[in-house]
Amino acid sequence: MKRPNDNKRDGALLILRYLDGLTRPAEERALRDRLAREPELRSEWVAISRQHAALSEILKAGHHASQEERAGQAGVVDFETSRRDPAGRRADGRSRPHLPAASPRPWGRWITGIAALLLLALGLWLRGPWRVPGPADTAATQPALTATIVAVEGAAFARGPQARRTIAVGDRLLAGEILVTEHAAACTLTCSDQTTLELGPNAELAMNIEHPSQNAKQAGSVSLQRGELRAHVEHQANRTIAFLTPHAIVDVVGTRFTLQVSRDTTKIAMQEGSVRVSSRTDQSTTTLSAGQYAVAGGGIQLTAMPLPRRGKPSAVRTTDGLIALYAFREGAGEIVRDSAPAQPAVNLRIQERHAVRWLPGGGLAVVAPTIIESAGHPHKITQACKNSNELTLEAWVKPRLPLPHQEVARIVTLSRHIGERSFMLGQYQDFYSFRLRTTADQYVIGQSAAVMPRGACETKLTHLAVTRHADGRIRAFVNGRECQMFEGEQGNTHRAPRSVMSGTFANWDPAPFNRLAIADEFPPFSGSLHPRAWLGEIFLVAIYDRALSSEHVRQNFQAGHLPSPLPARHPHRTQLFSNSRN
């Protein structure tokens, strides 16, 4: 088995053979393939090519010097000959014997050649694997930044020098390729240094593009030619990552920020950390910190400015009837805690930790399919709702569009599997769906459905609430405003408006069948993973055993997606298994 140093030495020898014209066609193809996939070998190619060119110039100079020496000696003879008369006699009339031209002395040429060979050997030794590397070498020889696709939505492809290919989860973005997302598409990548890149629609991205400010401390570069990119860069030890756009260069050590590239400008908005921004048009620079932004290009002066702030919510969330609350404030780990006053707590577990990313300040980004599930049946939710025959489902979300499948993705569900549930709030492409099981349900599996209008689902922070009263009335709210609900489910099956789901919750499944889940559905059988995966950012999920009034829905909306303070636990409220209201 070859060691890395042996592989590097073989590559250098192959380059020398190629430059000397000694390679066979198969060796030339092998060299081209290695240069395409090995950044270190490309650096070796540049260095050896320069040394080879310098050697050629030196040898040419030595060869020309020998020719000039011979020409000079011939010139002396010609000069003496020019003093003869036409008959070849000297000035005194006597014949002068012809002197043969002196043979050239080769010492200068040999000395020049030996010096050139020593120079080449010294250069190879200085770059060779047998020398102990110093700090500068360690930075310069770090492996190039690579990126792997972890989530794809809509039409996205990689365009290479020769052809284009459709990308899928698990693919790597190869050297020389440009990742392209089309209209309404999105793509998430994880880099080799754990940096996360979220590429929006109509965007183009490439990795490790050479640029004027490149230096040995840079771990690599990310180039965004158009579109929007959200980056969460892990802290780099003594190294930086350069983010390039047509108008700016952003040097990053570790931070979270957003790039928006249009035809004439680039906007850099900081969420946390700090970056150094350089304009590519007038070479001006500035430093941005959390809560600031700057615009480069378009004749705009590069200046740090504060991000517009949203009004601070003054309302406090209502807690009457609150039986489960997930505020996603943990910031790390795989457990999402139930912080509702009602006991016992129904904590949830993230099944695939790599598929999510905790957001600073609160919230969870679901970047790849996973399920966030309870360990068992949530008795307190089932019993409290069966006692009241009322329900409110509430969520703060920022969904992705389009969905990676043509099914209803689960935001929150209390279910057994995809075909049997007590309730569900989900997303079907650009609208939201609500399903509920009651004694009036013809199929006794919770298929009674109502949907919100098309276009209600947008790729921005959204507050959702669906209520069901004991008399069967249902209401839906988007960002504090009530909206009409319709019969039907998927596709174009919208029919008449729907405002009632009659019956009671007496047929909700008892323990241990139903469980609570967020961001996906339980598979119908073992091995069927992520049948109804939901992707996006989620900030809050709340479940009430009563139908909130429109005033209480607006109150919760005004409290914001990161409410503070959270409701305190009340030790005396250990159960809600009665019809009384606290």
Q: Answer yes or no: do 364 and 485 share one domain.
A: yes
Let me know the angle formed at the C-alpha of 176 by 174 and 180, rounded to the nearest 5 degrees: 80
Print the domain residue range for 118. Answer: 4-74+107-131
DSSP characters over 265-328: EEEEEEEESEEEEEETTT--EEEEETTEEEEEETT-----EEPPPPPPP------TTEEEEE--
Q: What is the DSSP letter of 529?
A: -
Q: Answer yes or no: do 400 and 274 share one domain.
A: no
How would you classify residue 491: left for phi > 0, otherwise alpha for psi between -120 and 50, otherwise beta?
A: left
Q: Answer yes or no: do 116 and 177 share one domain.
A: no
Residue 80 located in a structural domain: no
What CATH code is carried by the domain that includes residue 410? 2.60.120.200
Domain count, the chain: 3
* pLDDT at site 448: 59
* Torsion on CA atoms 480, 484, 487, 491, rounded to nearest 10: -80
Q: Which residue has the tokens 């890149």?
A: 197
Q: Answer yes or no: do 429 and 477 share one domain.
A: yes
Residue 86 located in a structural domain: no
Residue 490 located in a structural domain: yes
Residue 343 located in a structural domain: yes
Residue 145 CA to residue 155 CA, distance in Å, equals: 25
Q: Answer yes or no: do 244 and 162 share one domain.
A: yes
Q: Answer yes or no: do 301 and 419 share one domain.
A: no
Burial class (CB in 10 A: 0-12, 13-18, 19+), 576: buried
107-127 and 39-81 are packed helices; what angle lies between their axes, rounded to 10 degrees?
Answer: 170
Q: Answer yes or no: do 168 and 70 share one domain.
A: no
Q: Answer yes or no: do 156 and 66 share one domain.
A: no
Residue 504 located in a structural domain: yes
Residue 162 CA to residue 443 CA, distance in Å, equals: 55
Q: Answer yes or no: do 13 and 122 share one domain.
A: yes
What CATH code is carried by the domain that includes residue 291? 2.60.120.1440
Residue 76 CA to residue 79 CA, distance in Å, equals: 5
Let me know the angle formed at the C-alpha of 568 by 565 and 573, rounded to the nearest 5 degrees: 155
Residue 277 located in a structural domain: yes
Q: Answer yes or no: do 340 and 282 share one domain.
A: no
Residue 414 located in a structural domain: yes
Q: Answer yes or no: do 113 and 151 share one domain.
A: no
* pLDDT at site 396: 95
* pLDDT at site 580: 34
Those residues of the chain that have pLDDT short of 50 are 1, 66, 68-104, 128-142, 311, 313, 444, 446, 490-494, 567-582
Residue 268 located in a structural domain: yes
How would you classify residue 503: left for phi > 0, otherwise alpha for psi between -120 and 50, otherwise beta?
A: left
The tens digit of pLDDT for each residue in 448-487 reads: 567 776 666 778 899 999 999 999 999 999 999 888 888 7
Residue 416 CA to residue 418 CA, distance in Å, equals: 7
Q: Answer yes or no: do 405 and 549 share one domain.
A: yes
Q: Are 540 and 567 in contact, with CB atoms under 8 Å apart?
A: no
